[in-house]
Amino acid sequence: MAKENGAVAAINGDFFNTGSEGAPMGAQISSGLLMSTPSDLKGMYAFGVTNDGTPILDEFAFSGSVTAENGASFPLAGMNKVSYAPEGTGSTYSHANTAYIYTSAWKAVERPKNSSTTPTEVMVTDGVITDISVMAGLPTAIPEGSFILRTHGAAAEFVKKNLAVGQKLDANYALVSKKSGKELDPTTLQMMIGGHTILVDNGKATSFSRNVNSIGGSRARTAVGYSKDGRYAYLIATESNDNSKGMTLQQLQDFMTKIGVWKGMNLDGGGSTTMVNRPLAETNTELTFNTEYGTTQRSIVNSLGVFSTAPKGSLKGLTVSGSNTLLIGQMGTYELKGYDTYYNPIEAGSIKPTWKASNGNLAVNGQSIKATKPGTTTLTAVSGSTKATMQVKVLGADDIAALTTGVSSAPLQAGTSVSVPVTAVTNNGQSLEVPSSALKWEFIGFKGSVKDGRLTVSSVNSNTKVGYAIARYDGFSTVVILSAAGESTWENFENVSYPVKFTTNVPAVTGTAAIKNGSGTKANSKVLNLSYDMTGGLGQKMYAYAELNGTAGKSIPAQATSMTIDVEGDNSLNWLRAELKDNNGKTVYVDLAKAIDWSGWKTLSMDLSGYNIAFPAQMKRLYVVNVEEGQDERALTGSVSFDDIRFMMPSQSGNEGLPTGKAVMTIGQKSLVLNGSKVAIDSAPILKNGTTYVPIKHVLDAFGGQATWNQSAQRVGVLRGGMLMELTVGKKEFILNGKRSSAAVAPMVQGGRTLVPLRLVSEQLGLKVKWDKNTKTVTIES
């Protein structure tokens, strides 16, 4: 509403019956045009502004009549009103024995609904009666320049006796102050909006003008008022959301008096309460704060807006928006907007900025901005003598809490190809996709490459059981563990113990899903058959499902990197899919075939690594899809069968073949006892501040694994089984399989050797550590 009318800011307005036609309960005037009259209810105030800018806030009644050509007249009860129960009139039916005017502002054909009365209606165009419908409403909307006189009972008798098509009918009406009795001509007002009880009078909280029990307590509220000198209007909203419980009416009164409201009233609150504003340099309004429904706005009948009448001025200021955090290699997208000397927004296309960065963390080339190295930069946009700045932080390793890849494991065999998009999780919980240009990959145990986000194994080193694909962002690492893999049959339908059921999204679609004897090359096997007839659903998107194990699905327990399935096609050209639900509750749709363009049995293979499936997962349904477009080219009936669903699953442990046993080390001694045999070592364990330190090489020699050292980064890398642990000298943090963790102690350098905390590293690698303070020995077991 605010956007459509060009408002700078707005709040919701009058009360309304949510079950009726959406008309306000009180008066509404727009640019001197009366669009709704006050309902006959006690203590309902209205706020308006006269043509000379004077605010008014009063309780009004409606006074009006229609006069026939013969001079006879009949009083009007109101204009554009829904049915309601009047107060103090002795009648519970607003439209019984009354006459109402309905104008083109009333869009519904029925005037009104649920009135409990049968109307006689008169169409009047340019002051002349053009149609009369006795004991029935006119079956038409009201055109511009016309109105309908809606009558019942005594008013209908007036029509019968005094009006005829072709005669003139005059309507005269005004608003009347209930306090002063003075009439108010609607044409003298810029606007008026109805409300509820008065809240503030003469700068003080005043008694409520009507019963407020139904709107009591703390809740979202909207109000309007004006200052003592009449120069300022106050548009007020207090929301009830995650950050606020709203206000009581008494709290609202207190707030209004403190900010300078001289006279004010309550507007519709609760779920209707909404405030929007147009930020500086923007052309559209936005929510000032979340409503009770979050960012969703409830429908309302009218609103109060603030408008600018200022002329266009020259460029005064700029605003820049865009991402204030970037990853190395990421292109930044920034939008520049301007405002003039009267704070009107300026067309962005008319602003020709020059971009500058305060240092080398961002590379600026014309309008292209790229993050190059970690740190904070001031990004400046300049247009003429005007400029705008924003702080942009390029994230480094210290800003990262975790790195994850599309898969955490993959088969260690030549030809393996899996999707490995890398996502960074920052210390404040933000998830960002890492540009491939910002990653450095290292392969241990095999030769391979990463291109366009896919890891491909070209060859495996001899005698290698576990391989590592290590991705580093500014030194922060994550790893894909590659291990021996095998394809295992997940379902061959020979001994199915769970229910299989046909379902569809369109009731007119029929079919069956059942375990049957196969045909052709599967004649001696059980298969899952899905037969369908979509003839009855022609013209809409249709699904034919074979549902597995009800709504629960059948479990896929281990991480699978690929799926293979045998399918007997029907040449229908329909779409074939599988539906999975992963361990996070995410629904995953796997395309088996975009078009079933074969008959007989065919083996289909799908790469699952790019779907980011959290295992264990559930196979929910196998199904056929027939979309609306091009249905004349696809078969509406058919039958497909499924057999031998297989998954490629790498070893989950990565620990196969690792040595087991027990090693005993003594503080200060250059030897250890490994499985009962004494072995010489070149550096003795030391004890410092209650922590045992050793060169990690001694542990890995005994229990398997390997270590790496990065001199420039002072970083120790430890690989063992399915683990990659990286530690930095002097830092009490470590990274384990892509996740940052804290420790009580840090690696150190002594005597030219890098020493790591023995217990910390050993236990993270799956080893057990015991300390005997009497003998000063450390026992490590696997």
Confidence (pTM) = 0.63
Count CB atoms within 10 A of the CB of residue 114: 14
Domain 398-484, CATH class in plain words: mainly beta
Confidence (pLDDT) at 655 = 64
- Reported as a pLDDT band with limits 50, 70 and 90, residue 1 is confident
- Residue ranges of the chain assigned to CATH 2.60.40.1080: 315-395, 398-484
pLDDT tens-place string over residues 653-709: 556 668 889 999 999 999 999 999 999 998 899 999 999 999 888 889 889 888 999
Domain 488-650, CATH class in plain words: mainly beta
Inform me whether the pLDDT recorded for 19 exceeds 80. Answer: no
pLDDT tens-place string over residues 514-558: 999 999 999 999 999 999 999 999 889 999 999 999 999 999 977
CATH architecture of 662-781: 2-Layer Sandwich (3.30)
| Structure token pair of residue 698 | 């001694």
- How crowded is the C-beta side of 258, counted as CA atoms within 13 Å? 7
Phi-psi region of 654 (alpha: psi -120 to 50; beta: other; left: phi over 0): left
Work out whether strand 637-650 and strand 526-533 pair parallel, antiparallel, or are unpaired. Answer: antiparallel
Confidence (pLDDT) at 656 = 65
Reduce the DSSP state of residue 296 to 3 states and report it: coil
Chain centroid offset of residue 585 CA: 17
Count CB atoms within 10 A of the CB of residue 327: 25
- In which residue are the tokens 């904070």 written? 376
- Reported as a pLDDT band with limits 50, 70 and 90, residue 651 is low
Task: Calculate the average pLDDT of the chain.
Answer: 93
CA distance 374 to 334: 19
CB 412 within 8 A of CB 482: yes
pLDDT tens-place string over residues 181-225: 999 999 999 999 999 999 999 999 999 999 999 999 999 999 999
CB 397 within 8 A of CB 380: no
Give the mean pLDDT of 591-597.
95
Inform me whether the pLDDT recorded for 611 exceeds 90. Answer: no
Inform me whether the pLDDT recorded for 626 exceeds 90. Answer: yes
pLDDT tens-place string over residues 632-643: 889 999 999 999
CA distance 574 to 572: 5
**Cα 708-709-711 angle, rounded to 5 deg:** 160
- Reported as a pLDDT band with limits 50, 70 and 90, residue 88 is confident
CA distance 618 to 488: 16
Inform me whether the pLDDT recorded for 344 exceeds 70. Answer: yes
**Exposure string (b/e) for 334-369, b if CB count within 10 Å is 16 or more?**
bebbbbbeeebbbeeeebebebebeeebbebeeeeb
Confidence (pLDDT) at 689 = 92
Give the mean pLDDT of 306-333.
92
Count CB atoms within 10 A of the CB of residue 403: 24
CATH architecture of 315-395: Sandwich (2.60)
Backbone φ, ψ for residue 557 (5° rounding)? -70, -35
Let me know how long the chain is. 782
Give the mean pLDDT of 330-342.
92
**CA nearest to 564, candidates 489, 500, 623, 514:** 489
| Structure token pair of residue 596 | 């079933």
Give the mean pLDDT of 137-143.
95
Confidence (pLDDT) at 654 = 57
Phi-psi region of 2 (alpha: psi -120 to 50; beta: other; left: phi over 0): alpha
Lowest mean pLDDT, pick from 68-77, 483-492, 767-776? 483-492
CA distance 238 to 252: 9
Give the mean pLDDT of 698-723.
90
Inform me whether the pLDDT recorded for 652 exceeds 80. Answer: no
Query: Which one of 3.30.360, 1.10.3470, 2.60.120, 1.20.1280 gives the CATH number of domain 34-41+60-181?
Result: 2.60.120
Output the CA torsion 20→21→27→31 (10° steps): 160
Question: Percent of the chain having pLDDT more than 90?
Answer: 80
